[in-house]
Amino acid sequence: MVHGKKLAKETLLPSVLEEDDDAEIESGKLHLGELRASRTEVDVRGPKDQRFGSDGNVLDRGEREREKKEEEEEDEQEELGGKERVISDEDYDTDLELEGTEEAYDPTGKTSYMEACKMFQVVPAFSFLRQMKASELSMMHYGLGPQGTKALAVPLVTNTSILRLNLRDNWMEGMGGAAIAKMLKENSYITEVDLSNNHLGDYGATAMAAMLEENSTLISLNLSGNRLTDLSAEALGPALVVNTKLQHLDISHNALGERAGQILGDALSENTGLRSLSLAWNSIRGRGAVMLAHGFRGNDSLRTVDLSFNGFGKEGAVALGQALKENNALEELNVSNNRIPPEGAIHLTVGLRVNKTIKSLNMGRNPILNAGCYSILKSVQENPDSAMEALDFAGIPVNQDFENLHTVVKEIFPALTINHGGRIGTFRKAKA
């Protein structure tokens, strides 16, 4: 690997990065070489060294011509050999091999960035140059693309100033995501990374998973909106078991399905680092929802979980009720917009009656009706050790019975706030 980097420095970079600066010098050298060659040829064929026959012809002319032809063929072979070496180095140097350049120490990486831009044939991002010494690099919606992202990753390998990296919406795709992942394997300063809405796909997510198995400084990672499927979950699951430093993971707005729920559920049951997890806006339902909920049972690190806009339904709600019965760490749970019926809400109360840590529960826009809302509020009333501070039933109308129970519970838990979709019958009375 070291030999490959050395070759990249000695052959590729001088030809690619220094071509413009040395153009005049090389032209001068070439011209001087032609003059010397011309003088040499004249000297060789001068009167002193020539031999003539009786007819006045040079006797050794053919021999000299053959020698000259052989020399030209050798020069051509050397030139072709040099070209072949350059092509070989370019093929080898496909990612961040520019990091092998070992010139004057540059903590910001400005020099290596300019060289990388030439190598990947992209225009330097002057917004990056202005922020190289800042603690946070924010380049949202900049349109870097895969090649621009590769160039950006080169100086970040050795940059010691940037701690937070926001590259949201840059269309970096899988190759760009892989370059950032490779950089994060080497950089030991960056702690927060936002790569949301970058079309990373499963290729980029797999590279990120491999990075998480080695990185020991990253605390927050946002991969929202990157078209991740169950294949991504197959890579991320094992990484979450190994990694104990990552505290915040956002993989919302993707295409994770039933299989992903099972894989992530198994991983969460063993993970000891995550504090918050967002799986909102995916397609986790059925068996996947049940297995994911089971993963929360033995997890004692997660504090905030967002499962909104999936398809947990009744089965998922039943499994969540059992998880809350055993979990002693979770504080915030969002299961809004999950097609949970009244029966599911009633089963969820099995855990709420004994749970001592949940402070916020969002059940908004589920078809649980007044019966489901009433059951959940009743479970809080029956749990003297409840830590509940906020209940959200947005979009769900309630009746007078719920309002009466709310008044009673408010006396027991004065800090409790409840949001709902209005009281049933209010509009009819107003019309009357």
The vertex-318 CA angle with 313 and 324, nearest 5°, equals 120
Tell whether the model's pLDDT for residue 57 goes beyond 90.
no
Q: With contact defined as beta carbons under 8 Å apart, do 118 and 156 qualify?
A: no
Residue 313 tokens, joined: 């339904």
Q: With contact defined as beta carbons under 8 Å apart, do 364 and 395 qualify?
A: yes
pLDDT digits (tens, 9 = 90+) for 365-389: 999 999 999 999 999 999 999 999 9
Predicted local distance difference test score (pLDDT) of residue 56: 47
Tell whether the model's pLDDT for residue 39 goes beyond 90.
no
In one letter, which amino acid is 102?
E
Predicted local distance difference test score (pLDDT) of residue 426: 57
Residue 266 tokens, joined: 């198994």
* Other beta carbons within 10 Å of 431: 6
Separation CA 372–CA 370 (nearest Å): 5
- Class at the top of the CATH hierarchy for domain 112-431: alpha beta
298 CA to centre of own chain: 28
The band of 22, judged by pLDDT with boundaries at 50, 70 and 90, is very low
Separation CA 341–CA 431 (nearest Å): 30
CB contact burial 244-280 (16+ within 10 A = b; e otherwise): eebbbbbbbbbebbbbbbbbbbbbbeebebbbbbbbb
Separation CA 163–CA 101 (nearest Å): 23
Of 53-57, 168-172, 242-246, the least confident = 53-57
What sign results for the dihedral spanned by CA atoms 316, 318, 323, 324? positive
pLDDT digits (tens, 9 = 90+) for 300-359: 999 999 999 999 999 999 999 999 999 999 999 999 999 999 999 999 999 999 999 999
Q: With contact defined as beta carbons under 8 Å apart, do 119 and 147 qualify?
A: no
Mean pLDDT of the chain: 83
In one letter, which amino acid is 410?
K
This prediction's pTM = 0.76
* Other beta carbons within 10 Å of 338: 25
Query: Which has more confidence, 52 or 310?
Result: 310
Tell whether the model's pLDDT for residue 7 goes beyond 80.
no
Tell whether the model's pLDDT for residue 362 goes beyond 50.
yes
Residue 177 tokens, joined: 């995501």
Residue 232: phi and psi, rounded to 5, are -65, -40
Predicted local distance difference test score (pLDDT) of residue 98: 52
Separation CA 410–CA 16 (nearest Å): 72
Q: What is the mean pLDDT of residues 112-141?
A: 96
The band of 424, judged by pLDDT with boundaries at 50, 70 and 90, is confident
List the domain boundaries for the chain.
Answer: 1-43+72-93, 112-431
Predicted local distance difference test score (pLDDT) of residue 5: 40
Separation CA 296–CA 267 (nearest Å): 10
The band of 210, judged by pLDDT with boundaries at 50, 70 and 90, is very high
Largest CA distance in the chain: 135
Of 191-205, 383-397, 418-432, the least confident = 418-432
Tell whether the model's pLDDT for residue 87 goes beyond 50.
no
The band of 70, judged by pLDDT with boundaries at 50, 70 and 90, is low
Residue 301 tokens, joined: 């690190």
- Taking the chain, what is the end-to-end CA distance rounded to the nearest angstrom? 83
Q: With contact defined as beta carbons under 8 Å apart, do 419 and 395 qualify?
A: no
Residue 328 tokens, joined: 């002693």
Separation CA 374–CA 401 (nearest Å): 8
Separation CA 196–CA 369 (nearest Å): 35
Q: With contact defined as beta carbons under 8 Å apart, do 251 and 279 qualify?
A: yes
